[in-house]
Chain A
Amino acid sequence: MRRLLEKYPPMTEHMLDMLHDLQQAEPCNYLSRDALTAVAEYVNVPVSEVVSTATFYSMYSLTPRGQHIIRVCESPPCQLVGAESLIDLLAEHLQIGVGETTEDGLFTLETTSCLGVCGVAPAMMIDEEIYGNLTRERIIDIINRVGGGR
């Protein structure tokens, strides 16, 4: 962790980048107590200040998440063409609710604001990859592919 942090000068202005990096390095895609404490010690601020920042932004999580994060766009252009039913479909297929993680720890289902690919709405993002023109069939196919044939 220390090595990741030392890429940046120990200043609060780099805190968002540090949190991004530490979260990415963690297999469960979240900011652990240790990670938050390490950032606080490194930039020399109370842990509460780091927690305060981390809990504000939707891309960070303080609880362990799945190996892959599914973010379904729920902004009006996607909603217009059926994003909501896709969230229901995913929830049913993965047997989890929004914000929850599958039992095998493979997927976490989240929603996100506009991904900026409205031309191929409805869209979702899995990790750093964007998928558009989603249909019921395509979405199951993508999940199976990303999940390695689950």
Chain B
Amino acid sequence: MRLARGHVLIGINDEALLAGARDVEEALRKQLSDAGLGDEIQVIETGDLGLAGRGVMLTVHPDEVTYAEVTVADVTEIVNEHLLKGRPVERLRVAPRIRSTGLVTEQPRVVLENCGLIDPESLEEAIAAGAYQALAKVLGEGIAPAAVIDEIKTSGLRGRGGAGFPTGLKWSFTAADEQVYIVCNADEGEPGTFKDRLILEGDPHRLIEGMMIAGYAVGASKGYVYIRGEYHLSIERMQGAIDAARDAGLLGDGIFDSEFSFELEIKKGAGAYVCGEETSLIESIEGKRGYPRIKPPYPGSVGLWGKPTVVNNVETLANVPPIVLHGADWYREYGTEACPGTKVYTILGHVENPGLIEVEMGTPLRTIINEYGGGVRDGKRFKGALIGGAAGAFVDETSLDVAMDFEGLKEYAAVLGSGAILVLDETVSMVGVLQGILRFFRHESCGQCAPCRVGTAQMVEIIDRIVSGSGCSEDLSLLREIATMMRDTSLCPLGQSPILPIETALHCFGNEIAGDLADGEALLPS
């Protein structure tokens, strides 16, 4: 490996690509070589650098200078001033979201430890950054599968896909069988959520290692990563990482000279939100329509091809290697008693700095929005936020001090969900947002069970009426009634979800919504 005195990391993801990251990278390489710095400064592609909507981003190490909205025209100045003369280009500079000094940063990065720091297409860089050490520990020290499960149980890790079920418990419920499967749910479709995509694209080996340890713990020798069909870059990077791991003997038979064998395969989705539900996802892997199954039996006993199957979210599995490597006690230093660890969020909407962040569980919503999100955009007033995507809950300014974890949000009848935080400023019409959410559910209802198929369509009719100005107060009770019926009778979480955004919107913004009704004045407090 070539040694360099400095590194320029360029964040490559869909957003950066559309802002012209490839052109910037090419110009950078060419001009570095023209300036005679080709051997001294290395250009490395990495994952997301933590800020969304800011175009092409670069981080220069060891100076830890981050640039945003870099264009080809800026490259000459960066090369001549900064890389040649050591004077950072202040006009392009932004506060770095990621520092290489480990965990002593403004963000505790457990899951995103390597995202934005390593080249995700290089197995060597991943290994240098600590990949596969936890797996080596488990297999090398001969730690029993039951002991791995115990460690995860003790760590208090809870599923990061939305429901927050304890991961160790889920693993321990998995039946023993000749064939057990481990499935990674990367069918990320919750509106406003793209954390899993950025983990996949930023540190794919972390996920492979997490799946292997999970596989070892539950006795699975085969794993599937189910990735949304629209995530082309994720699929490409993950496939590259799997191939590299296989070539290096990290996947296959007798890993690290142990008895443990493991194979991993990608399954590409084809556009269906409902496939994020674990039994639908299993049906889809089998090559069928993604209809949810009736539970019980749970996948832990009857899953893929009738065999015991563990389905875990990307972020959940990405938490596993550090827990195994550093121990449950170390992990519990982060977060709260009931919800240890960190949480990765995508913070979006009307904030100054939208993007990807990782903070400790229990961090107040106010801190997340003001400190990490940079506050509400354009000096407007905060109106509310939608937490957890379309299947999530609205909160208003009275809830800004809520501790963001599975328990804290319960007090506000909200959920953590997928980790999307959509911030809304004072200009937003709540019935408009609600309309968007209900249309989304109508579009994504799989049609298998009647309450959801018919209910989602009826709710759109009602909300359309309200938005057009001809809604009446009975429409609101009708919405509630339908959503409640769907919650009680639908087969899967999709149909059970709309009640939450509807109830919380009415709770927080009832007066405003009443004002949008033709006869709404009667509902308003005098």
Contact = CB atoms under 8 A, between A and B. Distances in A.
B14 A130 contact: yes
Contacts of A146: none
Contacts of A60: 270-271
Contacts of B355: 119
B267 interface: yes
A56 B433 contact: no
A16 B433 CA distance: 34
A128 B234 CA distance: 13
B290 interface: yes
B268 interface: yes
B193 interface: yes
B270 A57 contact: yes
B229 interface: yes
B295 interface: no
Contact of B271 (A57, A80, A121): A57
A56 B437 contact: no
B287 A53 contact: yes
A14 B350 CA distance: 42
Interface SS majority for chain A: mixed
A17 B14 contact: no
B422 A76 contact: yes
B232 A128 contact: yes
B287 A15 contact: yes
Interface stretch (B35-43, B317-325, B331-339, B439-447): B439-447
A28 interface: no
B238 to A, nearest CB: 15
A76 B18 contact: no
A45 to B, nearest CB: 9
Most-contacted residue by chain B among A115, A117, A118, A120 (CB, 10 A):
A118
B192 A58 contact: no
Interface string A58-99: 111000000000000011110110000000000000000000
Contacts of A119: 15, 51-54, 348, 354-355
Interface string B496-525: 000000000000000000000000000000
A58 B188 CA distance: 15
A12 interface: yes
B288 A80 contact: no
B422 A77 contact: yes
B344 to A, nearest CB: 13
Chain A interface: which size bin?
35 or more
A13 interface: yes
A135 interface: no
B206 interface: no
A13 B231 contact: no
B443 A59 contact: no
Interface residues of B, number: 55
Contacts of A118: 52, 191-192, 194, 346, 348, 354
A53 B15 contact: no
B358 interface: no
Contacts of B287: 11-16, 53
A95 B356 CA distance: 38
A69 B366 CA distance: 41
A20 B270 contact: yes
Contact of A112 (B271, B349, B386, B428): B271
Interface in B438-487: 439-440, 443-444, 446
Interface string A33-65: 000000000000000000011001111100000
B285 interface: yes
B191 A75 contact: yes
Interface in A101-146: 111-121, 125, 128-133
Given A75-B191, A80-B433, A117-B194, A59 B18 contact: no
B194 A56 contact: no
A95 B229 CA distance: 28
A22 interface: no
A128 B432 CA distance: 30
Contact of A75 (B267, B271, B346, B440): B440
Nearest to A84: B436
Contacts of A11: 287
A19 interface: yes
Given A12-B288, A17-B268, A119-B355, A129 B18 contact: yes
Given A12-B288, A120-B15, A56 B446 contact: yes
A127 to B, nearest CB: 10
Contact of A56 (B189, B289, B443): B289
Nearest to A119: B52
Nearest to B228: A116
Contacts of B14: 115-117, 130
Given A116-B193, A132-B15, A20 B289 contact: no
B132 interface: no
A75 B440 CA distance: 7
B18 A132 contact: yes
Given A118-B191, A121-B348, A132-B15, 6 more contacts: A56-B289, A57-B270, A80-B350, A112-B230, A113-B440, A130-B17
**Which 7 A-B pairs give the minimum distances between C-beta atoms?**
A119-B52, A116-B194, A75-B191, A57-B270, A58-B271, A15-B287, A59-B271
Interface of B: 14-15, 17-18, 51-54, 188-194, 197, 229-232, 267-273, 284-291, 346, 348-350, 354-355, 386, 390, 422, 424, 428, 432-433, 436-437, 439-440, 443-444, 446
